[in-house]
């Protein structure tokens, strides 16, 4: 049996072959496998230099200081460190603003803080999944210490205007954190022009390995942040633990590659989305959840009237790999909190599937997947009528 056509790039991407090659020299006996904290010997010093260079390359691509980049295990950890790290270090402000469409790693962190006595305002998007600046500004109180808003939504691809929010918050005594897990490597992020205070990203969303990411902390040396872990002094004491050198090299290489291919990858996704939409509209009764004009082209969220997402995903399982929302939620038959917040109700909520694609998705993959999808939707609609 052929493996299914993979249309779940928003859950994770395959690692680019160039990235795998770049990681290999940091693993084995004749490579640079030493611990970068072992600076008593030359192999350790050599690896410490490799990490310094990697941090500097990452910072250069983000246009920030390399002192402000902390390596983490991914965006979940970076989001936790940003949010808990800031608010627990500032016991005065007890109010946080975030949105109802954030990833669970932000929402559950906020819930944890609510249990500790913090007050959280969850702002809602409009019906297309767009957050309005006014709603965020209206939620601000004298107690507000942090605003956390995602750049691109993982279920709909909707892009938030983080530059506008950052500008509006710039002169207020409020930290602004951005979860850029879905945008990093796909949209250019220039931190010298974008006045955010904290930004999280994750390598496995841009063709790097799983289990590595980073947190940008503006003027890190002057910020107070409580670490999540305690141990050695790695990552300036903010993220102790032996650094996964090969993972970090993988992330930096993948990020470099994503930057050289930024336009090419974007246009490719745009072409695939157009093709997909063209083939699927023939079906009729297909509703787009979100607004294509304000979304990344690699994520398409659709509801097929009369066909439950669960039935469709099961029917397609061996042919097309897709998701009914965020991978962290799948398994549980629970309607998407993102779509619910967009006032999507009734059957449409349970009919929503997410198709996401990327660099290695070929035109033929989309054509074939769309044909299979159309056939399966027709069959399921027909069965429902019997």
Return the bridge partners of 214, or none.
71, 201
**Nearest distance from C-beta of residue 203 to ligand PMP, angstroms:** 8
Residue 237 contacts by C-beta under 8 Å, 6 or more apart in sequence?
A: 227
**Nearest distance from C-beta of residue 298 to ligand PMP, angstroms:** 12
- Closest CB to ligand PMP among residues 32, 186: 186
**Nearest distance from C-beta of residue 99 to ligand PMP, angstroms:** 12
Report the candidate in 233, 172, 169 with the shortest Cα–Cα distance to residue 37: 233
Q: Is 214 a catalytic residue?
A: no
The contact set with ligand PMP (CB under 6 A) reads 74-76, 103, 105, 150, 154, 179, 181-182, 202, 213, 326, 328
- Closest CB to ligand PMP among residues 72, 361: 72
- Closest CB to ligand PMP among residues 10, 280: 10
- Closest CB to ligand PMP among residues 71, 304: 71
**Nearest distance from C-beta of residue 177 to ligand PMP, angstroms:** 12
Asked if residue 305 lies in contact with residue 280, where contact means CB atoms within 8 angstroms, the answer is no
**Which of 64, 110, 214, 328 is the catalytic position?**
328
- Closest CB to ligand PMP among residues 179, 351: 179
**Nearest distance from C-beta of residue 75 to ligand PMP, angstroms:** 3
Q: Catalytic residue positions? A: 328
């Amino acid at each position: 049996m052929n493996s299914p056509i993979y249309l779940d790039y928003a859950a994770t991407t395959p690692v680019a072959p160039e990235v795998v090659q770049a990681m290999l020299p940091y693993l084995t006996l004749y490579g640079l496998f030493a611990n970068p904290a072992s600076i008593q010997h030359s192999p350790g010093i050599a690896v410490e230099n490799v990490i310094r260079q990697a941090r500097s390359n990452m910072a250069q691509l983000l246009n920030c200081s390399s002192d402000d980049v902390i390596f983490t295990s991914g965006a979940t950890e970076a989001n936790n460190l940003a949010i808990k790290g800031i608010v627990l270090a500032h016991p005065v402000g007890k109010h946080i603003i975030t949105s109802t469409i954030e990833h669970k790693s932000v929402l559950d962190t906020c819930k944890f803080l609510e249990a500790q006595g913090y007050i959280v305002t969850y702002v809602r998007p409009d019906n297309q999944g767009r957050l309005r600046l006014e709603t965020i500004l209206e939620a601000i109180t004298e107690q507000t210490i942090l605003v956390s808003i995602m750049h691109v939504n993982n279920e709909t691809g909707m892009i938030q205007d983080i530059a506008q929010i950052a500008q509006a918050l710039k002169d207020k005594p409020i930290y602004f954190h951005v979860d850029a897990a879905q945008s990093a490597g796909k949209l250019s992020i220039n931190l010298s022009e974008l006045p955010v205070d904290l930004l999280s990203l994750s390598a496995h969303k841009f063709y790097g390995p799983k289990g590595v990411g980073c947190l940008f902390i503006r003027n890190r040396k002057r910020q107070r942040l409580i670490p999540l872990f305690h141990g050695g002094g790695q990552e300036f004491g903010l993220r102790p633990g032996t650094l996964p050198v090969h993972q970090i090299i993988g992330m930096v290489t993948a990020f470099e590659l994503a930057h050289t291919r930024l336009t090419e990858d974007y246009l490719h996704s745009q072409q695939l989305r157009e093709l997909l939409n063209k083939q699927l509209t023939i079906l009729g009764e297909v509703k787009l959840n979100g607004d294509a004009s304000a979304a990344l082209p690699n994520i398409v969220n659709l509801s097929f009237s009369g066909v439950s997402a669960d039935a469709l995903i099961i029917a397609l399982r061996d042919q097309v790999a897709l998701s009914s929302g965020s991978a962290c939620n799948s398994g549980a038959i629970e309607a998407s909190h993102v779509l619910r917040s967009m006032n999507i109700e009734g059957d449409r909520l349970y009919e929503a599937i997410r198709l996401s694609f990327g660099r290695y998705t070929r035109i033929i993959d989309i054509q074939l997947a769309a044909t299979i999808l159309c056939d399966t939707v027709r069959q399921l609609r027909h069965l429902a009528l019997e």
